[in-house]
Chains A and B, each alone.
Chain A
């Protein structure tokens, strides 16, 4: 989530999105809203509430959230199920660099509690259409792993794999009754959120 080809990293974009949704829930609809920050562990947990100062606590939690090691959905979401006692709405913001099958299997149980689950897939445009002018060494920001890659591969095979990944994410989440939205960081945030809110059942 640290990656950003432009002015805004994926992490920032996710923060802005979450902050905007918190604001809507807390100020407009007086719904209790909470936050879980995770990678391969749960790093922060703010329980849902409508108490005075909840919005500030949520925003502070977002500000302190930093991208770290590799994401592992299994452990944090299992932990999350323990906190989830009431029906509600679960919004997950991630770049979802994982097998779509695994992601859906991990997240699907949340829906069994009767909660509505929405997946915000945050990606940088350069991740969808990367450009290489020559053979390059790529460094994984999460694992520091290095790999030498040729432009021909990026122009062909990578594009096919990424398209297939997005397609699978869309299909499998739909099949599991999960709501899925792709957020590309070069798209204005208000436009992305308006599109989401407009397409929601009931229009809000």
Chain B
């Protein structure tokens, strides 16, 4: 017998408390006067004996309670020899993405089947698969056929494995299973599968871990990342930059190909240094109109060909129009904003300026987004149209310059504006104090601090997300969600009178990113990693209710990834497989999402032998003998704290009953 936490035994000293109460503290009895003892008889001897007996039983129970409590915290265990048939056999097969390399998965399954076949008669077994999460394939059963079928049915996934998940799963298992567990893990023991904290993968005390490595470290080249536009207008201006990396590799030349819809459009040679990276750039991306399935591939020269390609999706479309509503006679803002929009990368937008008075019957749904450039008043018909447009998912960019200083309310935005700050009148200017770099419109906010703001409207940002603030704390750029759409408000103008921001280089990336954000291109672009989540709903309506519109998700295999019920109910969906997902929204928009396996799976380095020994403990020596089928007898530590807890509970009940009988008032017999 031993203790997992022997220091808690020190708490047994608390047994001195009942000793003091029962033995050291004197009981005092106050004599009671009576008129005559004529009818009384002496009852001293019997009552004292009875009382002393009860005292001693109560004292023993209380002392026992304290001792048991200290014992429970000390967590005692018994070393008991157990036959193999008493132990639960758990077979875990790693089916993460790296197991696709060579014949790793087949070897793992073959080894698992051997262990299951060689188990003792009557021994229960359970089969699990370890991918992104621990998947329980069978319950603890004795049926050899079902166990074998479960092992054979394990297919390789595209997920990133994590041994921390195995540790967590085993800890959860041992909470319900109190018999010893013999765990056999068949894996390539990839180093990148180790969690950040080693403690996460440590097994509970009654789990014997047997590790079965099915692979050795081998060199592997992969396309680590690809930088490409999600949406483009001019294929000639597009640029695709790919990073090819090698892990455990020597210096080598790799052929890198750009594939568009299954056709190789360009090939380049890259010199990948030993254990290093090489960057390959493709100028021009000749894709047809609409969404295209693109990939960057390298020639397969290693044993793991599944990570030789990196998928990405590109949508080609005509430049989208941006409605620029300005005050009559005002041309500076249009000049600066238009120039910035035209200079932005990919030039996906075309500015269409219009006078506010002439814009009454404009349909905002025909534009990517609408800009209100310092317009004091707009026709009510246009304002109604714009509000409805925003509520149904459209976007508006507002510049609140000096024209709005006399107004109480900003059109469409809805919030009131107070008296603006004329910093120039005070002989100076304001600068930008804080910037929310997490906002999509401010991803490249460098240079904003140099801008001088001479006038800023006093905007109430209480119900909005303040993206940028001036040095005095007043909001400069706020983002307000109305319905499913967004209104982005800049508290100054787009011209060079109220500020000099348009003259700074930071203005172009701001206009570019704000335009992409407002046009919704930001949500549709880019490649994802396996097991990441796609957002089904981008927003909630004003009443706070979730949008009930459904979405259709078609997986890489051409089948629906969500059932009809899930499509109407779930808020997000998990991208579990590598390839291209087609997403069709109820609004008619569609998106193509490229999903790639986590590139940590491409590192085929194996966990060092010392670490594996540390993980499995001394039981690693027994791994070789596992599956022999012999009735092996072992010493196992059984924690017995729950039995002590049971005795403690019974002692507590007995103490309560005895103490209440002793201390309770006695009712008179009538």
* A interface with B by C-beta (< 8 Å): 1-3, 10, 95, 97, 124, 127, 129-143, 145-158, 161-162, 165
A141 touches B33 (CB 8 A): yes
Determine the distance from Cα of A161 to Cα of B51 in the docked complex, in whole angstroms: 26
Q: Tell me if B48 and A136 are in contact (CB < 8 A).
A: no
Tell me whether A129 and B668 are in contact in the complex, defined as CB-CB below 8 angstroms, given that A95-B36, A153-B41 are known contacts: yes
Known: A95-B36, A140-B34, A140-B36. A155 touches B668 (CB 8 A): yes
Across the interface, B39 reaches (CB within 8 A) one of A135, A141, A162, namely A162
Contact B32 A141 (CB under 8 A): no
Interface status of B38 (Cβ within 8 A of chain A): yes
- A-B pairs with lowest CB-CB distance, top 10: A150-B43, A148-B44, A135-B47, A150-B47, A97-B36, A3-B35, A161-B39, A137-B31, A140-B37, A139-B31
What are 26 A-B contacts with C-beta separation under 8 Å? A97-B36, A97-B38, A131-B668, A133-B666, A135-B29, A135-B47, A136-B31, A137-B31, A138-B32, A138-B34, A138-B37, A139-B32, A140-B37, A141-B34, A142-B36, A145-B37, A147-B37, A147-B41, A148-B42, A149-B41, A152-B43, A154-B40, A156-B669, A158-B39, A162-B39, A165-B39
Contact B665 A133 (CB under 8 A): yes
Q: What's the minimum C-beta distance from B635 to chain A, rounded to whole angstroms? A: 55
A121 CB to nearest chain B CB (Å): 12
Q: Please, how many angstroms separate the alpha-carbon atoms of A143 and B669 in the complex?
A: 30
Q: Is B176 an interface residue (CB 8 A)?
A: no
| Residue ranges of B at the interface with A (Cβ–Cβ < 8 Å) | 29, 31-44, 46-48, 51, 665-666, 668-669
A158–B570 alpha-carbon span in the complex (Å): 80
Contact of A149 among B36, B40, B51, B668 (CB under 8 A): B40
**Chain B residues closer than 8 Å to A138, beta-carbon distance:** 31-34, 37, 40
- Name the residue of chain B whose CB is nearest to the CB of A145: B37
Query: Cβ of A153: which chain B residues have Cβ within 8 Å of it?
Result: 40-41, 43
Could you tell me the distance in whole angstroms from the C-beta of B111 to the nearest C-beta in chain A? 74
Tell me what chain A mostly uses at the interface: helix, strand, loop, or mixed.
mixed
Nearest CB to that of B51 among chain A residues? A135
Shortest C-beta distance, A119 to chain B (Å), equals: 17
How far apart are the CA atoms of A2 and B34 in the complex, in Å?
9
Given A136-B29, A155-B669, does the pair A3, B40 have CB atoms closer than 8 Å? no
Known: A136-B29, A153-B41. A3 touches B34 (CB 8 A): yes
Beyond A138-B37, A157-B41, is A151–B666 a contact (Cβ under 8 Å)? yes
In the bound complex, residues from chain A placing their C-beta under 8 Å from that of B37 are: 138, 140, 143, 145, 147
Contacts of A142 in B (CB 8 A): 35-36
Residues of A within 8 A of B41 (CB): 147, 149, 153, 157
Assembly CA distance A162 to B665 (angstroms)? 24
Question: CA separation between A135 and B38, bound complex, in Å?
Answer: 18
Per the bound structure, the CA–CA distance linking A133 and B38 in Å amounts to: 21
- Check A150–B29 contact: CB distance below 8 A: no
Q: Is the CB of A3 within 8 A of B39?
A: no
Distance, CA A153 to CA B43, complexed state (A): 8
Find out whether the CB atom of A137 lies under 8 angstroms from the CB atom of B32: yes
Known: A10-B35, A139-B32, A155-B668. Is A147-B40 also a contact (CB below 8 A)? yes
Q: Give which listed residue, B29, B35, B47, contacts A1 with CB less than 8 A.
A: B35
Contact A139 B29 (CB under 8 A): no
Residues of A within 8 Å of B36, CB to CB, are 95, 97, 140, 142
Report the Cα distance A158→B43, complex, angstroms.
12
Contact yes or no, A139 B34, CB < 8 A: yes
B575 to chain A, nearest CB (A): 75
A95 in contact with B31 (CB, 8 Å): no
Chain B residues, CB < 8 A from A10: 35
Q: Is the CB of A135 within 8 A of B40?
A: no
Residues of A within 8 A of B29 (CB): 135-137
A148 CB to closest chain B CB (Å) equals: 4
The interface residues of chain B lying within 8 Å CB-to-CB of A129 are 668
Chain A residues in 8 Å Cβ range of B666: 133, 151, 155
Contact B33 A139 (CB under 8 A): yes
Q: Please give the distance in Å from B38's CB to the nearest CB on chain A.
A: 5
Chain B: minimal CB distance from A165 (Å): 7
* Residue numbers in A under 8 Å from B39 (CB-CB): 158, 161-162, 165
Chain B contacts of A155 at CB under 8 A?
666, 668-669
Cα–Cα distance between A3 and B36 once the two chains are bound (Å): 9
Which residues of chain B are within 8 angstroms of A143 by Cβ–Cβ distance? 37
Which of chain B's residues have a CB closer than 8 A to the CB of A154? 40
Q: For residue B51, which residues in chain A have a CB less than 8 angstroms away from its CB?
A: 134-135
Which of these, B31, B34, B48, contacts A127 with CB under 8 Å?
A: B34
In the complex, what residues of B have CB within 8 A of residue A97's CB? Answer: 35-36, 38
A129 to B666: give the CA distance in the assembly, Å: 14
**Chain A contacts for B668, CB-based, 8 A:** 129, 131, 155
> What residue of chain B has the Cβ atom nearest to residue A124's Cβ?
B35
A45 to B32, CA, bound (A): 33
Within the complex, what minimum Cβ distance (angstroms) separates A185 from chain B?
Answer: 11
Asked if A150 and B46 sit within 8 Å, CB to CB, the answer is yes
Please determine whether A146 and B31 come into contact, CB atoms closer than 8 angstroms.
yes
- A86 and B29 CA atoms in complex are apart in Å by 54
What chain A residues lie within 8 Å of B33 (beta carbons)? Answer: 3, 138-139, 141
Closest to B35 in A: A3
Complex alpha-carbon distance, A164 and B41, angstroms: 16
Point out the residues of chain B lying under 8 angstroms from A152, CB to CB. 43
Q: Given A153-B40, A155-B669, verify A141-B47 contact (CB < 8 Å).
A: no
Q: Report B-chain residues with C-beta under 8 Å of the C-beta of A130.
A: 34
Chain B residues whose CB sits within 8 angstroms of the CB of A157 once the complex forms: 41
Q: CA of A133 to CA of B47 in the docked complex: distance in angstroms?
A: 12
A135 with B43: CB separation less than 8 A: yes
For the complex, give the distance between the alpha carbons of A10 and B38 in Å: 17
Nearest CB in chain A to that of B39: its residue = A161
Q: Does A141 lie within 8 Å of B35, measured CB to CB? A: yes
Bound complex: CA A158 to CA B36 (Å): 12
Chain B positions within 8 Å of A131 at CB level: 668
**A123 CB to nearest chain B CB (Å):** 8
Known contacts A2-B35, A3-B35, A145-B37; 10 further A-B pairs (Cβ under 8 A): A97-B38, A136-B29, A136-B32, A137-B31, A140-B36, A142-B35, A149-B41, A153-B43, A155-B669, A158-B39
Bound Cα distance from A10 to B665, whole angstroms: 28
Which residues of the other chain, B, contact A145 by a CB distance below 8 angstroms? 37
Of all chain B residues, the one with the shortest Cβ separation from A98 is B38
The winner among A124, A141, A156 for most chain B CB atoms within 10 A is: A141
CA gap between A2 and B35 in the complex, in Å? 7
Distance in angstroms between the alpha carbons of A136 and B51 in the assembled complex: 12
Task: Output the nearest chain A residue to B43 by Cβ-Cβ distance.
Answer: A150
- The smallest C-beta distance from A189 to any residue of chain B, in angstroms, reads 19
- Which residues from chain B contact A165 at a C-beta distance below 8 Å? 39
Give the residues in chain B near A95, CB-CB below 8 Å.
Answer: 35-36
Measured between C-beta atoms, what is the minimum distance from B162 to chain A in Å?
66
Residues of A contacting B38 with CB < 8 Å? Answer: 97
Residues of A within 8 A of B48 (CB): 135, 148
